[in-house]
Amino acid sequence: MRHRYFRSEPGPQPLRQVVERTVRFEEVDPLGIVWHGRYPSYFEDARLALCNRIGIGYRDCYAAGVATPIKQIHVDYSKPLHFEETFTIEAILHWCDAARINMEYLLRNREGEVTTTGYTVQLLTDPHQQLPLLVVPPFMETFRNRWKTGEIA
């Protein structure tokens, strides 16, 4: 049974994006399994696809004068992925009232088995990453209103 990384907050259902990948030779160790340090880049593949689709990607944030550095990253490994194996990465954006982005990840092998789970927490900061924002910026508030009303799914 998979545990929850984020506690449920009142708000809309999580937003999801699935990306398909194939393990490349450069991503494996001498045993032919994905090296553990590659998983954050897999997370980013799905996070970018989701955030770009819903209008809060890196360029959107930059245009609004906001940086989104990663504050926390966590990975739980259950089963290895192998060279040339096809797999999916699912990014799941969870509602949060604070000025941050809580994203969960599920990696599944070609049989649909969960191989890896994890999460990232990104803070919303000033463009120089010096000060965390205490109030959600207007562009993010607009996005959240669209999410609440079901305009974004």
For residue 48, give the nearest of 58, 38, 40 by alpha carbon: 58
Domain 15-139: CATH architecture, name and number where available: Roll (3.10)
Q: Is the pLDDT of residue 1 over 60?
A: no
Task: Measure the CA–CA gap between 49 and 116, rounded to whole angstroms.
Answer: 19
* Percent of the chain clearing pLDDT 90 (strictly above): 89
Q: What is the pTM of this model?
A: 0.93
Tell me the domain boundaries of the chain. Answer: 15-139
pLDDT digits 0-9 by tens, 32-90: 999 999 999 999 999 999 999 999 999 999 999 999 999 999 999 999 999 999 999 99
The span from the CA of 54 to the CA of 83, in Å, is 32
Structure tokens at 138: 């207007």
| Residue 128 confidence class, pLDDT cut points 50, 70, 90 | confident
Contact 18, 87 (CB under 8 A): no
Helices (H) and strands (E) in the chain, counts: 3, 5
Give the Cα separation of 152 and 132 in Å (integer).
26
Phi, psi of 56 (to 5 degrees): -125, 35
